[in-house]
Every structure is written in C-alpha cells, then in structure tokens.
Structure 1
Amino acid sequence: MARPGRAPRRAAPGLAVARLVFVALVAICLLTGVAGGLLRLGVVIPATASSEWLGRAGLAHAALMICAFLGTVIALERAVAVKLRAAFAAPLASALGGICLLAGQAAVAAWLLVAASLVFAWVNVVVVRRQSAPHTQLLLAAAGTWLAGNVLYAMGEGSGAVLPWWFAFLVMTIAAERLEMTRLMRRRPAAPWLLLAVLGAMAAGAAWSWLSPRAGGVLYGLSLLLLAWWLVTYDIARRTVFAQGLSRYMAVCLLGGYVWLGVAGVAWIATALGHPWRDTALHALGLGFIFSMMMGHAPVILPAIARVKLQFGWPFYLPLAALHLSLAVRLGWGSLEAARRVTGAQWNAASIALFAATIAGAVIAWRIRSNAQEGA
C-alpha cells in the first residue's frame, strides 16, 4: 500500500497539459537562445545550419535568454506563488514573445514582452499588498526595470540602452531573494539600506546609459562591484557553505556567482571606458552570476513550479564546475586567443546541457527511490 505523502498529488489533466506547454516553450527559448549565442561566435550546430530561425535567434540572443527564458521562469514562479490564474498571462506572453522572435515577428514579440512585464508588475503589486516588506518592495522595483527595458526594446532602442535594464531586472530579483534570507542571520541595521542604495545606483546607471553610455556604464559597473561586496559580506551563504547536502551546494553556487558578479562590474566599467571587455561584462554577469544563481535555486524552485521532486546528490556539482571552468577559458584565456573564446563558449553550452540532464536524472532517481519505498 502506498504511503501517504510519498509522491506529489496527481494534477488535473488540464493543469498537466498547461505545465507541459510551459515546459516546451521554456525549453525552446533556452535551446534557441543558446544556439543563437553560439552563432554569434561563428559556431553552427549541424542540424540547424539551414534553419531560418537560427539567424533570428542570433540577432535576438539576449531577448531570448533574458526575457523569453529567464523572464518566463521568474514569472512562472511568481504566478505559482500568488495562485491567481491571471498571473500566468505574464509567463505565457513572454514565452510567446520568444516564439515570435524566432518566427520573424519582431514587433509583435516586443509588444508581447511589454505586455508580459505589465502583468508581471501587477502580480508584484499583489505580492506587496499581501506582504509589504523590503524584499517584496524590491521585487516590485525589479519588475519595473523589466518593464522599462521592454518598452525601450519595443521602441527600437539599441542594446546599450536596453541591456542594463534587462540585467537590472535579473540582478535585483536575485538581490531581493538574498535580502529575505539575511533575516535568518544577525546583520547590521544599515545592511538593507546599503543594498537599496546600491540598487538605486544600478537603476540610475541603467537610465544614464541611455543618455550617456560612458558615465552611465561606469556607474552601472560600480553598482555591480558594490553589490558583490554586499552579498559576500551579508549573505547567509558564507555560513551555509560549511553545512552539508543541498545547503552547501546552494552556498557554493552563490559564492562562486558573487565572484563573477565582481568580475562583471570591473568589465562593465572597462567597456564603458572604451576597452574591449564587452563579452566579459555580459557573460560574467549573465552566465557566471545569474546562471550560477539559477543552478543553486533550481532544486528548490523547480519542484514548486513543475510539481516534481528531485533526488539531490554530488552529480549537481558537475555542471556547476563545468560552467565556471568554461567561463574561465572563455573570459580568461579566450580574451587573448579567439579560438579559446569559441571553445569556452561551446563548453558554456555543454555545461547548460549537462545541468538539464542532471535535473532530469534527479527527477528519475527520486521516482525510482519513491517506488522502491512504496513497494517495501
């Protein structure tokens, strides 16, 4: 006889189909975004060489990765949390925006992203009304930066104006979640105010980058550096890294990401001052920091979104190590030799694929273990 509580409750057929649709849309946006990023470095996946969407994916690489993939995942998480059907309009619109980008409907895609961020902002207003706290207010501010970036994108502004806002959305969302976790440890009363000041500087740098890329870029990069300092100083990860199991893994992901956040800050300033560090600035932030955070939080967030359970184990460290090593090759050695840069980018893609395989294996491992326990 099955033991109660051993397996997640079976979803209604309609909900199961909806989850599969979202999983498929997110997977398409991620895979095509990665393929587009490789294309920008001259690497073409053989099976996609003659596909029309590949060139579009290359042009829309940032929009696919930040808005259509990560934006959809974050919006899904928030929709599940607030338990409002209307909230799912945000991730649906952002995912469909990615599909429209691949279909060559760039204008439709851009306004779908605007619609997604508008609904997402409303969802965060609901969250603040339910629980008004510094971290929920910061989540609402992060939603506002996504909306600002999407409006500029729909207006046809270039990456110099749009990317700071898009990255601010992701960085501020992560910072808000880490701010909430600092409540679990003793901290100086000024710590939350310091964080708000740093993130205020980030928003100011994003806005200034539209008018003055040099001055705005320097301020933006400085805010990334200061945020890395704040996280290393106040985040609970510097204590939980000495724990065991999942807590230690998450801490390793976080602390490694904070290092890359500091690298991104230096590279962003250097780029604004005219040095050829743009690839380092974008990918130390997008892959080194943000994807490290994603890898660390996935074992906790994915079960809530997809209603699956994972068997955590040492294999989770493999894609994490591969990500950091591939970034070191791409942004370190690759800054001196173009071929190594391409190799590093290919390894970046491989580390993401390895992480997806690890997640799938963890789901299967948990089901095998659960069935064995039920049969005992």
Structure 2
Amino acid sequence: MNVAPLLRHLGKLAAALTIVLVLVCAVMAGLARLGVQVPARAMTSVAWHGVLMLPVFFGALVSLERAVALQRAVYLLAPAGAIAAGVVLMAGAPPVAAQWLLIAAASVSLVASLQVLRKQPALHLGVLALAVLGWWSGNLVWALTGDVSSSVLCWLAFLVLTIAAERLELTRMLRLPRSARYLFFVPVVAMIAGVLWALWRPEEGTRLFAAAVVLLAVWLANYDIARRTVRQRALTRFIAVCLLGGYGWLALSGVLGLAGALMPGHPWHDAALHALTLGFVFSMVFGHAPVIVPALTRLPVKYHPLFYAPLAVLHAGLVMRVTGGLAELFWLRKAGGIAGAVALALFALTLIAAVLAARRERARRPGGRRISNPTRSS
C-alpha cells in the first residue's frame, strides 16, 4: 500500500483544521476588543487580532490553496510557516519568531508565484504575484518596525489583489472590450503606489489606496462574470450574490477611506476596515468555500439554500457594526461584532452539514460516485 498520498491528504487536512483554529482565536480576540467575555486563554491573543486574521489566517489559506493547485510539496512550507507564526502568537511567545516565520512563508509563496508567472505569462498571474509581494512586504515592515499598523495596508493589498486577480482570470470567458483590461490597470497601479507612498506619507498614501479600492469596486461591479451568473441557480447564483454584495462593501470601505477612515485612530477606522475585511473578503470566502473545501480536503459539499442564512447574518451584523462606528454608538458596533462572529460560526455549521449531506448522498449512489462540484465559472 502506497502511504504517501494518504500522508499528503492527512497533512492538508491537518493544515486546514489548524487554519480554522487560528480563525477561531482571531475572532475571539476581536470580540474581546469589543468588551465581550471570552475564555481567559483567548485574552492573550487580543493584541494580535489583526495579525492572526490578515497575514496568518488569510496568508495560510491562500498559500495552502495555491500549493494544492500547484501539486508541489515544497510549496506547503508557505502555509506551514504562516500556521506556525499563528501558533507562536497564540502561545504568548515574543512576536519576533512569528515575524520571521511569516517572512519565510511569504517568500516561499512568492517564489512559487514567480515560477508560475515565468512558465505562463498572464495578466492575472502577474497580479497574483503582486498580491503575494504585498503579503511579503507587510510581514517585512512589521519585522523591521514592530508596528502592526504600518503593515495593514500591505496586507489589505494582498487580499484585495488576490481576489481581483482571480476574478480577472474568469473574465476571459466574456467578450469584454479591450478598454476594460486597460482600465483594470488603473486601480492596480494606484493601489501599489498608495501602499508605497503610505510608507513615507501615511495619510496621502492611504487616501490614494482608498481611491484605488473604489475604482476597483466599480470595475468589478461592471465587468465581473457574476453579473451574469447571478441569473442562474443553486450554488452558481449563491457565489454571484456573495461577490456582488462584497463589491458593495468594498466600495463603501474605499469611500470611507477617502475621508481618512483607513488611517489608524480615525473614529471611522473600525467601520472602514471591517467593511473591507468582513464585507468584501469574507463574502468571497463564503461564496467560494463550497468549491475550495473539496479541493483542499477531498470532502464533497452538497449545496443547500440554507447557505444564504449565515450570509444574511454576516451582512446584517456588518450593517450594525458600520452604522455603530459611524454614529459613535458603541453598543450597536458591539452587537454588530457579535453578529459577525455568529455568522462565521453559523457558516461553519452549515458547511459541515453540507459535507455530511454530500457523503450520505454519495453513499446511497451505486458505486459511491462523488458528487461533482461546479467549476470556477462563477
């Protein structure tokens, strides 16, 4: 019996479960910052809420997905390094180890991205490489300065550009005007320029970054394939709804950022930051999890309309959180934060139920054939 494939599968499953643990700790740390009572052990991670969420959780998730797609075991060092950094922080150890683990993880991911780009030059792959460079740069800035807030813009660029690149790839299925691809360069170049400028002139650079976010949201809302797939049914429509709703939150974050809200210390900072991370990024996670989970874990997922329930709770909670932040109503902001955590837990339960339903259905089929999952055409 060849145990190598089994060991690789178990390794990927263990990595996925550890990534989920990091997310749980990050969410509890965020709740603690809002004054919610959490387990005492989680209180040690309060200062690292943003780090656990942005470079650790999303860094590990994105790099794991990339490593599985490339089918090279060496690239699994990237998610492993990010996960190890999270464990270091959650254990209460000095952050220097986590900083250099994250740099090493991003370096492996960057090498992988550049090698893929060299073999297959394409615009979306170039943007993906720039996204990973944003992750790497944010980790380096944190290590050199010790200031997490100085790295946030780099990490946000990593997430936004990663999603934008994946959506750009799918526009190849459409007959877009040539001008659309040229227009895509405008927010990407502006975003990179904003991140670099912010290292010297934080306020001006952050506002340029915010302007790029607005332009990108407009581009995605106009040219993304989700505008067409939202008219379809089942999982394809659900993904499109997640995407289109996320683009609205992305635009709002950019508009608030133009008013200075992406700067640390601004009274609307919480609203702008979570409109982007919860409203935009987690909407993408909700939409693509039924496709990503089978790819990473070989666990089938059966779509059910109940997937809309946690999505609705996520958006409702974010409305409360953003409104509370803008109106300076802390109780409403806190309620929105709790609702957001409930949405994530509810989505996890919905996903588990979908996996169990798929396994039951597959067991009833002759020969135990797998349930096919939709392609990335959404």
User: Fold conserved (TM > 0.5)?
Assistant: yes
Cα offset for 1:11?
8.3
Q: CA offsets, 1:284-329, max 9 Å, x none?
A: 0000000001111111121111111100110111111110011001
Change (3 A) 1:15 1:340: same
Aligned to 2:360: 368
Q: CA offsets, 1:101-120, max 9 Å, x none?
A: 11223110010000000000
C-alpha distance in 2, partners of 1:11/1:324? 43
Aligned to 1:138: 127
Amino acid of the residue matched to residue 313 of structure 1? H
Aligned to 2:283: 292
Q: Is the 8 A contact 1:117 1:143 kept in 2?
A: yes
Q: Is the 8 A contact 2:206 2:262 kept in 1?
A: yes
- Pairing partner for 1:34 from 16, 19, 27: 27
C-alpha distance in 2, partners of 1:42/1:156? 29
Say yes or no: does 1:168 pair with 2:157. Answer: yes
Cα offset for 1:159?
3.6
Aligned to 1:347: 339
Indicate the RMSD between aligned Cα atoms, in angstroms: 1.7
Q: CA offsets, 1:165-189, max 9 Å, x none?
A: 0000010000000101111112121
Aligned to 2:190: 201
Aligned to 1:151: 140
TM-score normalised by the chain length of structure 1: 0.93
Q: Is the 8 A contact 1:213 1:272 kept in 2?
A: no
Q: Is the 8 A contact 2:256 2:272 kept in 1?
A: yes
Q: Is the 8 A contact 1:160 1:213 kept in 2?
A: no
Say yes or no: does 1:309 pair with 2:300. Answer: yes
Aligned to 2:117: 128
Amino acid of the residue matched to residue 198 of structure 2? S
TM-score normalised by the chain length of structure 2: 0.92
Q: Is the 8 A contact 1:334 1:344 kept in 2?
A: no
Q: Superposed, which structure 2 residues align to 1:237-256 within 5 Å?
A: 237-256=226-245
Q: Superposed, which structure 2 residues align to 1:261-280 within 5 Å?
A: 261-270=250-259, 271=261, 275-280=266-271
Amino acid of the residue matched to residue 358 of structure 2? W
The worse-fitting range, judged by mean Cα deviation, of 241-250 and 282-291 is: 241-250
Aligned to 1:99: 87
Change (3 A) 1:292 1:118: same
Cα offset for 1:333?
4.0
Cα offset for 1:157?
4.3
C-alpha distance in 2, partners of 1:375/1:302? 23
Change (3 A) 1:277 1:112: same
C-alpha distance in 1, partners of 2:367/2:162? 43
Matched residue count: 362
Q: Percent identity?
A: 41
C-alpha distance in 2, partners of 1:330/1:140? 33
The worse-fitting range, judged by mean Cα deviation, of 255-264 and 241-250 is: 241-250
Change (3 A) 1:149 1:192: same
Q: Is the 8 A contact 1:160 1:210 kept in 2?
A: no
